[in-house]
A = this chain, B = another copy of it.
Amino acid sequence: MTAVEQSPLVLKLSNFVVLTDTELNVLHHLHRRGRSFVAGRDLVQQGQSEQAAYILAKGWVCSYKIQPDGSRQIIDFQIPGDFLGLRSVLLRTSDHSFEPITDIQAAEVPAGDLLAAFAQTARLATAVLWAASRDEAMVVEHLVNLGRRDADVRVAHFLLELGARLALVGMGSKTGYDCPLTQYHLADALGLSAVHVNRVLRQLRENGLVTFRNGKVMFDDRDRLVQFAEFDPEYLDQTGPLLT
């Protein structure tokens, strides 16, 4: 019926839970307060505590921490359908910053609205918590990536994970996806230097595994790439008790 059903969040949650009209209405209500932000200017400053979360509708964001020496570690990327600052709202803490990578559109969700929505439909609360738990599993996987994988496998794994996430909201397929990240973004996320990221990308490309170029990621040989990256999407699948 309405455009809500096209919203990335609805698409994403639909992978876990069958949403009824009630929940769709509540979600529609949450999307009420649309806002826009331009690329580059931080959304929430490190350390600051916010009383509202955002549901990302369009564009890409990253969350990161700056080190005293000026280097940056990207914790995670947010793509359409993801929450921004959900934890800050629920738990009144925000220990990192958000930077829009592209111009973005997001729905602002005051803490009160969110809690009210959860109170209205427990199923929605469950679905959102699942999404949050998946985000956390991704942070853990990211940690494993940094701690125990070489640069080439690390990059490959990252590109596959991103593809899987995008596919959930209809923005990617088995063959590839659009990706506005620069090689600096990859470097900051993967704990590598931009120069080395470039070398690794070249190597992956020349080996016919994956091509990262002109804002597009193309899986040239996805099966071999999955094998090379030791990519096991289990931690993303979340086929929980599928509420019907």
Contact = CB atoms under 8 A, between A and B. Distances in A.
A133 B75 contact: no
Contact count band on A: 35 or more
A139 B137 contact: no
A73 interface: yes
Interface of A: 47, 65, 67-69, 71-73, 75, 87, 90-93, 95-96, 129-130, 133, 136-137, 139-140, 142-144, 146-149, 190-191, 230, 234-235, 238, 240-241
A148 B92 contact: no
A65 B139 contact: no
B146 A92 contact: no
B67 A143 contact: no
Given A65-B144, A73-B143, A137 B191 contact: no
Given A87-B133, A140-B139, A148-B71, A234 B95 contact: yes
Nearest to A235: B95
A235 B65 CA distance: 12
Contacts of A72: 148
Most chain B beta-carbon contacts within 10 A, residue among A129, A147, A149: A147
